[in-house]
Structure 1
Amino acid sequence: MRVGVSRERRDGERRVAATPDSVRQLIGLGLEVLIESGAGTAAGHSDQAYADAGAELVAELELDALDVYAHVRPLSPETAARLRRGAVTVGLASPASELPTVRALAAAGVTAFALELVPRISRAQSMDALTSQALIAGYRSVLEAAMRLPRFFPLYMTAAGTIPPASVLVLGAGVAGLQAIGTAKRLGARVSANDVRPASADEVASMGATFISLDLEAAEASGGYAKELGDDRAAMQRALLAPHVAASDVLITTAAIPGRPAPLLVTSQMVAAMRPGSVVIDLAAESGGNVEGTVAGSDVLVPTADGAGTVTLVGLKDAASAMASDASRLYAKNVANLLELMTADGVVAPDFADEVVAGACLTDDGVVRHAPTAAAIEAEGAA
């Protein structure tokens, strides 16, 4: 069976869905791998490296001749329509925000696997791209904040006086949030964090940060994810967070709900109450943002309430892509591991009796199998 990997066409995307190492893994399964020339260049992988690993280099993939198509960013409806019926796709799909593509995949009879939907269970950890990419995004968010903050992160005691450490607040203590905490601590900042999941308090403490308890009702969904708060609870959460936000030099927001727009955690008034020169990094910018006024891919200067200066609001975009080499190394392994689970004797044949395979499947044989996405499409059609 022929597995194809192309150059990512979306602006700013530098990752690739296969590396020379993952190509060797796929070939070892009895699969034939086709790599579009230049696919791995931005991630540090030359065409020659792929050829040495056993891949066939092509100038451009013929999508209708592929059995499997591996990708990073969600496909366009036009690309989905070019795939042959029965083809398998593996990649990030952002189903909640890419409904036209989901419809196109179903109409084309494609069996599409969305890495966002991989169940968060122990035996699926090696296929969990959300976790592997969040690790990188959390690390990167702190570096971006440090470059913009007009002061040091660590404590410095000098002959000219003592410089206190920066105060960093992280909202959301999943993989990205915990990595942000760890990175900020390594840079010497004083770090605190909050999450609506009660189990996260111990995790935050284990990273050396202070957990901020807001005495709200727990909001944890299955698989360890956070669930969305009701309007009243969300408003109470923002009110309780406001003084902690105002006291921070750096605010990093990482809260996400799979398959849904990002929850609003911070209002523009809360940002304006921060000290001049403060920095806000919104890691959820591409899914709507945790911070009011976030613009994905842009820095917005928010005037402070006292009129003394501005706060820099950063809608961080393509965070993992900015570290394309390591991001691709992890992502390509996630893709290869999921394909290995579905491959026997050189044939990719998804077994929907397997909870990982069934959970990750977005469309199959003309049907949208992911219930929330199917409901969203139905609701959109009825509107």
Structure 2
Amino acid sequence: MPTIAVLGERAMGEHRVAMTPAALARFAKLGFAVLIEAGAGARAGFADAAYAAGGATIVPREEALASADVVLAVRPPQPADLAGVKQGTKLIGGLAPYADAARLGGYAGLGIDAYALELLPRTTRAQAMDILSSQANLAGYHAAVRAATELDRCLPMMTTAAGSIPAAKAFVMGVGVAGLQAIATARRLGAIVSATDVRPEVREQIQSLGAKPVFEEIREGDEVTKAAGGYAGEMSEGYRQRQAALVSGHIAAQDIVITTALIPGRPAPRLVSDAQLASMKPGSVIVDLAAESGGNVEGSVAGETVERHGVKIVGLVDGASRLAVDASNLFARNCYNFIEAYWNKADKALAMPADDALIAATLLTTGGHIVHQRFAPAAA
């Protein structure tokens, strides 16, 4: 019987766990034995007794690693934290491959097969395995709630005997999964919400959530290139300048700004400058979801709340982790869906062919080597 091990997360401030008691039955049904490091789920509110009641065995970390055929992880463990793992063990989870080439070399040195689920392509087949989307959804929700708690006024319009209070204004920059959830949550909290993105074609998504799209009108010659799949291509410099001026004027009138723009493998793009911060009302709040990757906002600090020009800047790095119960449950389902897709029921074993599109996209190391084409040259 193959064995899955789930270790306690050692990253500072991380409360999630890669498997929950609710997910145990799914893995057991496939035919896995599950080992849980003692205390692994404690910070997410999952006691060892709950795992044991679901059929898992609670063991020390060393025993879990020595017995594991598969190890699940929310954040990338350091190679030293995997001491004693068997060669050929599959490490599956969020492995942040762009962050540390030396760590990938360490995985190769251990002889493990490391699969980074954040590298899954955005395809229909991979949707149920997509840890970025599931966790970004929660981070977007938390960003809006955090902004509401930091703001020194209420979000919805209120009518009282003493007079009316106007609704707060919230502006979301970046309309991916996190941005869409931030829009929806801010709307539910009663704010007047607007949003923008580098892709003008997302206007309809913004409007569908009851928010106002903030885009310059596209003129003849603005679209320099067209991209495949129906997406807009690169826009002209003239359009970009007009859009930047429109956004600058819009930011000045906002009570809340939430930024969500990330580029894999590169520093986060700068969306809000110091001059734009200075134009905002004192007491306004910005939540920067890209703080850990350099920040969308000038002056933001990862993991801290700082103030510039009277504006609070929240460098949010743990939005999903602060919702550890739901985040862990979604993460565990993502991992299950990935593993189940390659489960050979007859042999009770994983069959993960290297030429499969999703395996090729996620496999970082195998056979003692870094094999992913994006990372092998840098590690050579």
2:247 paired with 1:241: yes
Between stretches 119-128 and 172-181, larger displacement belongs to 119-128
Instruction: Quote the offset at 1:107 in angstroms.
Output: 2.6
Which residues of 2 match residues 98-177 of structure 1 at below 5 A?
Answer: 98-177=100-179
Contact 1:15 1:325 in 2 (8 A): yes
Number of the residue aligned with 1:283: 289
Return the alpha-carbon distance in structure 2 between the equivalents of residues 224 and 248 of structure 1.
32
| Equivalence for 2:215 | 213
- Partner residue, 1:318: 318
Gaps of at least 5 residues in structure 2 are none
Give the Cα separation in 2 of the matches to 1:152 and 1:12: 29
Query: After superposition, what is the alpha-carbon deviation per residue over 1:135-157, rounded to whole angstroms, capped at 9, x for unaligned?
Result: 10000001110011111111112
Look up the match of 1:381: none
1:81–1:52 CA distance, 2 compared to 1 (3 A): closer
Deviation larger for 312-321 or 211-220: 211-220
Q: Secondary structure at the match of 1:286?
A: helix
C-alpha distance in structure 1 between counterparts of 2:313 and 2:36, whole Å: 39
Deviates most, 86-95 or 97-106: 97-106
Change (3 A) 1:371 1:219: farther
Report Cα offsets for 1:13-50 as digits up to 9, x if no partner. 11000012222211211111100111112222221211
The aligned residue for residue 61 of structure 1 is 62
Match of 1:299 in 2: 305
Of stretches 170-179 and 70-79 in structure 1, the one that deviates more from structure 2 is: 70-79
Query: For residues 36-77 of structure 1, what are the alpha-carbon distances to aligned partners after superposition, in whole Å with 9 as ceiling and x for unaligned?
Result: 111112222221211121111102233243211101111213
Do the aligned partners of residues 17 and 137 (structure 1) sit closer, same or farther apart at CA in structure 2, a change above 3 Å counting? same
How big is the shift at 1:235?
A: 7.2
Match of 1:189 among 168, 179, 191: 191
SS at match of 2:182: helix
How many residue pairs get matched? 372
Paired with 1:115 and 1:295, the residues of 2 have a C-alpha distance of: 27
2:26 corresponds to 1:25: yes
| Contact in 2 for aligned 1:85/1:108 (Cα 8 Å) | yes
C-alpha distance in 2 between matches for 1:158 and 1:218: 52
Deviation at 1:239, TM superposition (A): 4.2
Percent of aligned positions with the same letter in both sequences? 47
Deviation, structure 1 residue 330: 0.4
CA contact (8 A) 1:120 1:223 kept: no
8 Å contact 1:70–1:89 — kept in the other structure? yes
Residues 228 and 144 of structure 1, relative CA distance in 2, 3 Å threshold = farther
Partner of 1:272: 278
Task: Give the alignment partner of residue 261 of structure 2, picking from 243, 250, 255.
Answer: 255
Partner in structure 1 of residue 86 of structure 2: 84
Deviations 1:117-148 (A, max 9, x none): 11111121111110100110000001110011
The 1:224/1:150 distance shift into structure 2, 3 A limit, reads farther
Match of 1:75 in 2: 77
Q: Which residue does the alignment assign to 1:42? A: 43
Q: SS of 1:301's equivalent?
A: strand
**Counterpart amino acid of 1:268?**
D
Answer yes or no: is the 8 Å Cα contact 1:116–1:258 preserved in 2: no
The answer on whether the counterparts of 1:197 and 1:220 sit within 8 Å (CA) in structure 2 is no
Structure 2 CA distance for aligned equivalents of residues 231 and 218 of structure 1: 9
Q: TM-score, normalised by structure 2?
A: 0.90
SS at match of 2:154: coil
Partners of 2:98 and 2:121 in 1: CA distance: 17
Residue in structure 2 matched with residue 7 of structure 1 by the alignment? 8
CA RMSD of superposed structures (Å): 2.6
Q: Is the 8 A contact 2:92 2:117 kept in 1?
A: yes
Secondary structure class of the residue paired with 1:61? helix
Q: Measure the CA separation in 2 of the matches of 1:295 and 1:362.
A: 30
- Which amino acid in the other structure matches residue 270 of structure 2? L
| TM-score using structure 1 length | 0.90
Q: Deviations over 1:201-237 (max 9, x none)?
A: 1111111111111457589988999999999987775
CA distance in 1, matches of 2:109, 2:236: 35
1:222 and 1:98 map into 2 onto residues whose CA distance is 32
Partner Cα separation in structure 2 for residue 355 and residue 194 of structure 1: 33
CA displacement at 1:159 relative to structure 2:
2.5
Tell me, what secondary structure is at the counterpart of 1:242? Answer: helix
